[in-house]
Amino acid sequence: MNPLAVGDYPTLNYLLDGHKPIRATGRLSTLQAELIPTDANLGIPGRPQSATGQAALLTGINAPQRLGEHYGPRPDARVRAVLDEGSIFRRLRIAGLAGYFCNAYPQGYFDAVNRGKRLLSAVPYAATVGGQVLLNQADLYTGHALAADFTNAGWRDQLGYADAPVYAPSEAGHILWQIAQEYAFVFFEHWVTDVLGHQQDLAGAVANLQNFDGFLAGLLAAADLENTLVIVTSDHGNIEDCSHGKHTDNPVLTLLLGAQRRQYAPQIQALTDFVPVIEDFLGIQSV
């Protein structure tokens, strides 16, 4: 029931020299990529959850350890305090570098937040801690943002934005690279995999990961990989086991692509290791 084991993903197949991006493969170094099983449990029993996992990923702080539990899906005051303290977007701003969270949100999302019916999840909250105004329909339409499904098709098919620009997956990868030109650090959140895992939708998961494979191909074709480090990771396991619809305690699979990947691969063991790597790559001191 693991879509990563049964689907056809030509980009991942190329990057990993034919190896599957699954737990059994373990750590792998190829000419094109580093594959790293990454600890999302962080010393706390139970299934990892989104709020504390994302907070750890975005701050380098062991949020589950600080709270004494895995917590989610959306951050409470305790998790927000962690993000207030250590958000990578805030760190970059203090260092004088531009960070950018490039996901767009529809008007209904902002309406729900403003009515108090919805809390910001950890990633958009961390971006606002860094001073960013969350992106909206106008940003999506002008090519300055992407929807979480990266093609924007969901905005047309599910949200009623009939004239939203829709991209092929590889084209969306090119768009992400264009967006990135003005910034030292760009974060894109693809939460659709979590939904499909919860729905136990193996066929949908395979189709989604095939689209992601095309998206990654487009990004890598456009990117300056001599000077850019690309990190693909997750805050918890889920989609790799569509048999039960719950999060897993499996290591999440991290891909490092591009510049200095072999230097940084040994430094990544857990979700708390990404912020130090990002800061070192960008030449800034921890704050």
Instruction: Give the pair of three-digit tokens for residue 206.
Output: 């395979």
The C-alpha R_g of the chain, in whole angstroms, comes to 18
Mean pLDDT, all residues of the chain: 97
State the Cα angle at 270 between 286 and 230, rounded to 5°: 70
pLDDT at position 286 is: 62
Query: Mean pLDDT across the stretch 195-202?
Result: 94
Q: With bands split at pLDDT 50, 70 and 90, how would you rate the model's confidence at 27?
A: very high
Q: Are 165 and 129 in contact (CB under 8 A)?
A: no
Asked if residue 285 has pLDDT above 90, the reply is no
pTM: 0.97
Distance of CA 66 to the CA centre of its chain: 22
The pLDDT tens digits for 142-188 are: 999 999 999 999 999 999 999 999 999 999 999 999 999 999 999 99
**In the β-sheet with 28-29, what is the strand arrangement from edge to edge?**
28-29, 33-38, 252-258, 229-232
| Domain residue ranges in the chain | 3-282
Secondary structure letter of residue 255 according to DSSP: E
pLDDT at 279: 97
Q: What CATH number does the domain located at 3-282 have?
A: 3.40.720.10
The pLDDT, as a whole number, for residue 1 is 85
Determine the 3-state secondary structure of 197 from DSSP.
helix
